């Protein structure tokens, strides 16, 4: 059983779905994942999508 929660809520699992094709896009994704990890260090982060 699971609930979809707001982005600013502490979650057990965070799914980040992204597709990057530039170095800037890659950097933005890394910054986002790092920010999530700092705000909720106990969460598991699933990074899915593509990187070209």
Average pLDDT, stretch 1-25?
89
Does residue 37 belong to any structural domain of this protein?
A: yes
Quote the DSSP letter at residue 12.
S
Instruction: Confirm whether 45 is domain-assigned.
Output: yes
The pLDDT value recorded for residue 10 is 85
Domain extent for 32: 13-51
Q: What's the number of domains the chain is made of?
A: 1
In a domain, 46, yes or no: yes
The answer to whether residue 5 sits within a structural domain is no
Please indicate, yes or no, if residue 8 is contained in any of the structural domains: no
Q: What are the Cα distances from residue 44, in Å, to 5, 14, 15, 37, 50?
A: 15, 6, 9, 9, 19
Helix, strand, coil % (nearest 5) of the chain? 35, 30, 35
Question: Does a structural domain hold residue 47?
Answer: yes
- If one compares 1 and 31, the residue with the highest pLDDT of the two is 31
- Residue 44 to residue 41: CA distance in whole angstroms: 8
Interatomic CA distance for residues 24 and 8, integer angstroms? 24
């Amino acid at each position: 059983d699971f609930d979809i929660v707001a982005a600013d809520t502490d979650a057990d699992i965070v799914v980040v779905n992204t597709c990057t094709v530039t170095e800037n896009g890659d950097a933005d994704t890394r910054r986002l994942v790092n920010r999530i990890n700092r705000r909720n260090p106990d969460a598991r982060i699933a990074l899915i999508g593509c990187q070209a």
